[in-house]
Structure 1
Amino acid sequence: MSTPEGITLHDEPPGIDEYRAMRRDAGLSTKTPEQAAPALRNSWAWVTARDESARLVGMGRLLGDGGWYFQVADMATAPDCQGRGIGRAVLTRLLDRVEAEAPANPYVTLMGDAPGRKLYESMGFVDAMPESMGMVLRRP
């Protein structure tokens, strides 16, 4: 998988303000600085994509135990850069890291929002039903 022209990938988290802005701009839920800080420092892996001016244009991370369980999270691409293969490059790099560093047969999951489902399906992700059901705990 090649990286889109003019884009570089980095195995590091974005800055806290960049992270919060990327989530907002890409249509993900907003996060407070208190929510964002632990996400940035406690993830198993991060990949950020930057353009030639070092602007954050894409990101993704993996949560996990380093053994058998990994969850893809925070996949986002700047709206003006969507459709260029940045998300695919970020996700490929994250999955390559699992393959290189995790024991055999890892369990990789994600909660796919509608805009990303085509990408996820094209990369081999399938609906977990009826084997598993994604659920969320909503608090008032």
Structure 2
Amino acid sequence: MAASYKTFVEIPSITDYLHLRKAAGLTPRSHEAAKRGLPNTVVSALIRNGENVVAMGRVIGDGLCYQIVDIAVLPEHQGRGLGKEIMSTLMDKLKEIATTEVYISLIADGDASFLYKKYGFKETAPVSIGMAMWIGQ
């Protein structure tokens, strides 16, 4: 990661969150949904290039189970190790706060599974299968 990038442990602003999700190709969220959801973040990491937030990731959870969500890097900053930096920061913080019986999960889209495997994540199928649904879409 180049010296012009700086990592911060903080929750993104609603504006940055919405922009990063859309620009990185994640499912867009509404302002109201972001306003309600972001305060429930357990830990979040941002990477700035100057004043601009160019990457983010969050962890949500309850102390027993955590889920890594919203890993997003602006396309023009991809391929520079920013996703690895976000994951390293989130995992380090989780190891500080987690008990020994914590289950951490995530959904890997496309080739992102290669990144997550570097941090010890394994595919769960066929033992368990990830399931999801949308309400209000």
CA apart distance, 1:111: 0.5
Secondary structure in 2 matching 1:114: coil
Structure 1 segment 1-140 matched on structure 2, within 5 A: 3-51=1-49, 53-66=50-63, 68-139=64-135
User: Is this contact kept in 2: 1:43–1:63, CA < 8 A?
Assistant: yes
* Superimposed CA distance per residue, residues 24-64 of structure 1 (whole angstroms, 9 cap, x where no aligned partner): 0000011110111122211111111101x211110000011
Give the alignment's TM-score, normalised by structure 1.
Answer: 0.90
Q: Please identify runs of 4+ aligned residues in structure 1 that moved more than 6 A.
A: none
RMSD, aligned CA = 1.4
Number of residue pairs the alignment of both structures matches: 136
Amino acid paired to 1:111:
I
User: Is this contact kept in 2: 1:26–1:77, CA < 8 A?
Assistant: yes
Amino acid paired to 1:35:
A
User: Is this contact kept in 2: 1:62–1:72, CA < 8 A?
Assistant: yes
Amino acid paired to 1:12:
E
- Whole-angstrom distance in 2 between the partners of 1:135 and 1:69: 16
- Whole-angstrom distance in 1 between the partners of 2:16 and 2:111: 21
Identity among equivalent pairs (%)? 32
